């Protein structure tokens, strides 16, 4: 099962386009988490999910928050059959409070040194041990953080996605994020992305301002990413990892064009939910002094974030080439950049 978790996390990095290899490397020793199931299958299974959920939460919430971004870089819709095609990418920054999480509510595990917090994926690269509560002879190594800020200067989850916008009628754009199911390497996994959004010129409906020299639009968008990772091993039956993230964005955007530069800003909110599941029958054999145990569907993690958001940015348009960048202030604040082509 550890190998399947490693593969699932690695493929999440693959989605991000830029290599997030530290994420995969941090999963190199999950024994300190998985051993809990060998000690007590039911209580241990709950503890493993609590540990993994806390450990992965900053990455998953940041990753999902990133995909709620990048839909708009102007409030002016295309003319009918006008279009834009490009790619957006960026970073969702992880707040310092998410560098560690509490383990005070675990059923059977505790830190052997008595502390009640352990690092998340972005936290300290520290060595620590877990043990069955009150039993020092059951010590197992914990999973360290990546200490990413010291490595690259900041804590952030990356994201990237292609996008198409098409003008239809009456100041309305349809925006699409489509990636048909593709294979991520031979027998590694499958990835599918679907997103749809609608932007509409609301200024035209407000008496007294529709002739003023700025653009004002409303937007709603939905993005869903599905990833399936598979692992074949004689001791693990029907082993499969499933990752899903869904992001909903609602936003009002205002923009003003000055020659080749457009300044834009927006307010709104987003809602992001993600899940990681490890399905199948597994044999857990971590603690040498205990017999191996069989566990069915051992991991079921869920993550949620969202709330109000404010965006400010600019777009540079040279002929049909566009380059834009913006910053969104929200729970997981994001820096987004994009490049593409726009016609009409």
Please tell me the predicted confidence (pLDDT) of residue 15. Answer: 45
pLDDT single digits (tens) 5-24: 555 555 554 444 333 333 43
Give dist(CA 257, CA 249) in Å, integer: 24
Kindly give the pairing relationship between strand 299-318 and strand 321-329.
Answer: antiparallel
Please tell me the predicted confidence (pLDDT) of residue 119. Answer: 93
Cα 236 versus chain centre, distance: 28
Please tell me the predicted confidence (pLDDT) of residue 165. Answer: 96
DSSP letters for 42-61: HHHHHHHHHHHHHHHHHHHH
Please tell me the predicted confidence (pLDDT) of residue 293. Answer: 84
Cα 148 versus chain centre, distance: 17
Please tell me the predicted confidence (pLDDT) of residue 235. Answer: 60
Please tell me the predicted confidence (pLDDT) of residue 21. Answer: 35
Please tell me the predicted confidence (pLDDT) of residue 19. Answer: 33
The distance in angstroms from the start CA to the end CA of the chain is 52
Contact 261, 316 (CB under 8 A): yes
- Spell out, as residue ranges, where the chain has pLDDT lower than 50: 13-28
pLDDT single digits (tens) 24-54: 344 445 666 777 787 788 888 899 899 989 9
Cα 123 versus chain centre, distance: 17
The SS3 assignment for 27 reads: coil
Please tell me the predicted confidence (pLDDT) of residue 8. Answer: 56
Question: Considering the domain 2-343 in this protein, what is its CATH number?
Answer: 2.40.160.20
Please tell me the predicted confidence (pLDDT) of residue 187. Answer: 58
Please tell me the predicted confidence (pLDDT) of residue 186. Answer: 59
Please tell me the predicted confidence (pLDDT) of residue 256. Answer: 96
Give dist(CA 332, CA 165) in Å, integer: 26
Domain boundaries, the chain: 2-343
Please tell me the predicted confidence (pLDDT) of residue 25. Answer: 41
The SS3 assignment for 75 reads: coil
């Amino acid at each position: 099962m550890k190998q399947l978790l490693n593969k699932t996390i690695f493929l999440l990095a693959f989605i991000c386009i830029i290599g997030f290899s530290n994420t995969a490397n941090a999963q190199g020793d999950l024994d300190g988490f998985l051993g809990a199931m060998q000690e007590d299958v039911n209580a241990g299974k709950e503890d493993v999910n609590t540990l993994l959920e806390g450990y992965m939460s900053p990455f998953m919430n940041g990753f999902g928050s990133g995909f709620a971004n990048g839909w708009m870089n102007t409030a002016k819709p295309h003319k009918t059959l006008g279009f834009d095609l490009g790619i957006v990418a960026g970073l969702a920054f992880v707040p310092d409070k998410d560098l560690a999480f509490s383990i005070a509510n675990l059923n059977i595990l505790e830190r052997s040194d008595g502390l009640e917090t352990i690092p998340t994926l972005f936290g300290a690269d520290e060595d620590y041990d877990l043990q069955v509560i009150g039993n020092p002879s059951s010590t197992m190594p914990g999973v360290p953080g990546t200490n990413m800020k010291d490595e690259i200067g900041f804590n952030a989850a990356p994201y990237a996605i292609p996008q198409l916008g098409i003008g239809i009628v009456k100041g309305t754009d349809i925006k699409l994020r489509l990636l048909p199911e593709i294979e991520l390497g031979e027998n590694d996994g499958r990835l599918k992305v679907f997103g749809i959004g609608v932007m509409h010129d609301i200024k035209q409906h407000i008496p007294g301002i529709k002739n003023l020299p700025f653009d004002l639009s409303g937007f709603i968008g939905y993005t869903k990413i599905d990833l399936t990772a598979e692992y074949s091993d004689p001791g693990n039956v029907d082993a499969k990892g499933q990752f899903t993230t869904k992001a909903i964005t609602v936003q009002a955007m205002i923009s003003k064009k000055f020659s080749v530069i457009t300044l834009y800003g927006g307010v709104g909110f987003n809602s992001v939910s993600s899940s990681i599941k490890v399905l199948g029958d597994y044999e857990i054999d971590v603690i040498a002094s205990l017999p191996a145990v069989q566990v069915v569907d051992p991991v079921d993690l869920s993550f949620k974030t969202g709330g109000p958001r404010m965006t400010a940015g600019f777009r540079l348009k040279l002929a049909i080439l566009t380059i834009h960048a913006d910053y969104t202030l929200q729970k997981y604040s994001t820096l987004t950049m994009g490049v593409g082509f726009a016609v009409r």
